[in-house]
Amino acid sequence: MQINASHHRVHEKQPYRTWYHFQPPQNWMNDPNGPMYYKGVYHFFYQYNPYAATFGRHMVWGHSVSYDLINWIHLNHALEPSESYDINGCYSGSITTLPGEKPIIMYTGSDTRKHQIQNLAMPKNLLDPFLREWVKHPQNPVMTPPSGVELDGFRDPTTAWQGSDGKWRVIIGAKNGDEGKALLYHSEDFVNWKLHYNPLYASDSTGMFECPDFFPVYISGTKNGVDTSVQNSSVKHVLKLSYQNKQQEYYLVGEYFPDQEKFIPDPDLGGSCMDLILDHGMFYAGKTFFEYGKNRRILWGWSKECDTTQDDVEKGWAGLQGIPRQVWLDKSGKWLMQWPIEEVEKLRDKHVSIMGEKLVGGSTLEVSGITASQVDVEVLFELPELESAEWLDQSEVDPLLLCSEEYASRSGIIGPFGLLALASEDQAEHTAIFFRIYRAPNRYVCFMCSDQSRSSLRQDLDKTPYGTIFDIDPNLKTISLRSLIDRSIIESFGEKGRICITSRVYPSLAIDKDAHLYVFNNGSQSVVISELNAWTMKKAEFDQE
């Protein structure tokens, strides 16, 4: 990856460039592609525009490697447009490991007519643990758009899995008008593919199913991951789809019947309006891989800028990847849990803690002694009696309206309480990540929000607030919040990873040493900081080979 000085002078002052989130040295990055673990090395590929800080017409597969998923070495591109079947771009795809520990890339090419077609590439030298060079398959393309699918709406193959019949199966995202389709293909040799007559799943109002992902999860509630090809009574399956119309990551948990090639999502037994969304904020095109080294399933996701295109061009880069997350099925069997991989904790440096501190209504407490512009903070709040909570009729409320600024600062009974991240000293700038508890018919619910509306004095930013409502146990005594704060990104994990919200913010005051972190309670009932731990985060290493 050559840094082209004439294209972009890398700016000395880069207040929004992150310390420990993955980003290339410059230019545009989007979807994660083909993450994998191979011979002790983690590989990460991604959509990359080598020429500009904006999305381009000739996308390549960027390629970086790591021994710990946190510190990275940037390599030369793995795939670049070069043939008639990918001359207009090497777009998203996945890696499947064939028997004999042989990785193979399946990716979407945009051909001479800008039709989307699927292609294969193999490593040139399997003895090279960095797999620096990839060779395109002589029989490319291996799939072209079938009838009933738009020619530019047929992309993003999943990791393939092998059935008990020995055949490989893969899902391709597709669309026809507003209908999204997850098309299923079979192959005996990974080169000749046959379309199954029914999509594995279809939906009529989502638009394109981008970046589908399909994988098993243990129903026992263990955090261990499962190899992609496992099919037995100890697992359920997750179908994850990026809905293009909504620009959000939805998923379904259900039963996969390989003999009939059917995926039947579980009915929503809880009756709660919590759509199964991976992350309620700026997080898209997620992709998982099974890491056999530590027996876990890891999710990557792209976080795009909420800045202006002009600013992206001026700062010379756009796009981050979230911290890789371990994912597993909650013991209820109804939703996925997500938590930052343990390796990120190696970057923890200076540590402060607060124990047993009561926050009366209307109070704010500064977490001092850390560098608040790059920090990992975990807090456990002790709740008052839930009976005192105010009433909420969920059917009449949009969580995003609840999250609006007017609401966040208005006093409730139990909450809003939480963190003010990347805050200026006078709190004129801040991003509020908070909870609020309500009574609802026959149950209690929690509202979690990340409110960016006062994140910056600048007016030209997307400051959409993100929020969701979820059921809680009526006997709940505590609720936890963890936020990874890194200069222009805040990834928040509510209630041990049940709810995730990623925000992008661009403060003009709360930068570097001028950033502050506060805990607040705007509810009339006191909450107690049972335990808060915050760590300044060290810089991750990003080297170029």
CB 276 within 8 A of CB 253: yes
Q: Which of 31, 86, 279, 376 is catalytic?
A: 31
Assign residue 176 a region: left if phi > 0, alpha if psi is -120 to 50, beta otherwise? beta
Task: Quote helix, strand, coil % in the chain, to nearest 5.
Answer: 5, 45, 45
145 within 8 A of 135, measured Cβ to Cβ: no
Q: How far apart are the two ends of the chain, measured CA to CA in Å?
A: 9
Name residue 466's amino acid: Y
Q: 525 and 366 in contact (C-beta within 8 Å)?
A: no
Which residue has tokens 């731990």?
533
Q: What is the DSSP letter of 160?
A: P
Residue 79 DSSP class = B
In whole angstroms, give the CA distance from residue 192 to residue 168.
10
Do residues 27 and 17 touch, judged by C-beta distance below 8 A? no
Alpha helices in 336-442 (DSSP H): 399-402, 405-409
Active site (annotated) includes residue 68: no
The counts of H helices and E strands in the chain are 3, 38
Cis before 416? omega within 30: yes
5 CB-near residues (< 8 Å, 6+ apart) = none
Instruction: Indicate the residue type of 229.
Output: S
* CA 324 centroid distance within chain: 8
Distance CA 413, CA 368 (A): 27
Residues in the chain: 545
Residue 533 makes CB contacts below 8 A (sequence gap 6+) with: 351, 352, 353, 377, 378, 379
DSSP element (H, E) containing 106: strand 102-110
- Token pair of 489, please? 């990104």
The CA angle 148-152-158, to the nearest 5 degrees, is: 85
In whole angstroms, what is the distance from residue 498 CA to residue 475 CA?
17
Phi and psi torsions of 476, nearest 5°: -60, 125
Closest CA to 265 of 331, 200, 211: 200
* DSSP of 477-503: -EEEEEEEEESSEEEEEEGGGTEEEEE
Secondary structure, 3-state, 128-158: CCCCCCEEECCCCCCECCCCCCCCCCEECCC
Report the catalytic residues. Answer: 31
